[in-house]
């Protein structure tokens, strides 16, 4: 009976050591490329960029590129079925392979619109009038 217990303990130990995991990545691409990416107020690089992430849920994304409008957006990352309880335990511990959960986001940046000289003059006149005459 002892060899059977040792064999079972060895098998469980090997299973625990060889347990899998889930690799989560978020890829962000823009048109045009090379936009600076901020994910939850942290700079993560220039597009195209792929970053690992730990949790599923809400992410704030800010994209900046000179000559283009800054894009501020929000994305909710949903877990795949194997990351929902009770399947997540099997995916993280028991499955002896690494699962890769990839999420890809694509954005198109709009060229920056600069005001015309006439628009600037009208805006300046409006500011002056509000300052001088206390109008809102």
What is the mean pLDDT for each group of 10 consecutive residues in the chain (136 residues)? 71 58 94 97 97 95 97 96 83 79 96 90 90 74
Which pTM was predicted? 0.71
Q: How far is CA 14 from CA 8, 18, 59, 92, 124, in A?
A: 10, 6, 37, 15, 74
C-alpha to C-alpha distance for 96 and 98, rounded to whole angstroms: 7
89: which residues sit within 8 A by CB, 6+ positions away? none
Domains, the chain, ranges and CATH?
Answer: 20-114 (2.60.40)
**Which alpha helices (DSSP H) does 2-136 contain, by range?**
2-17, 87-89, 117-133
């Amino acid at each position: 009976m002892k060899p059977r217990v040792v064999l079972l303990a060895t098998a469980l130990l090997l299973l625990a050591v060889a347990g899998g995991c889930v690799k989560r990545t978020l890829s962000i691409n823009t048109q045009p490329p090379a936009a600076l990416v901020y994910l939850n107020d942290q700079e993560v690089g220039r597009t195209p960029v792929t970053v690992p992430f730990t949790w599923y849920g809400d992410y704030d994304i800010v994209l900046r590129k000179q000559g283009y409008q800054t894009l501020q957006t929000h994305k909710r990352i949903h877990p795949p079925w194997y990351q929902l309880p009770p399947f997540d335990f099997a995916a993280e511990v028991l499955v002896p392979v690494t699962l890769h959960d990839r999420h890809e986001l694509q954005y198109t940046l709009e060229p920056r619109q600069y005001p015309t000289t006439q628009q600037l003059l009208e805006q300046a006149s409006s500011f002056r009038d509000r300052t001088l005459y206390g109008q809102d």
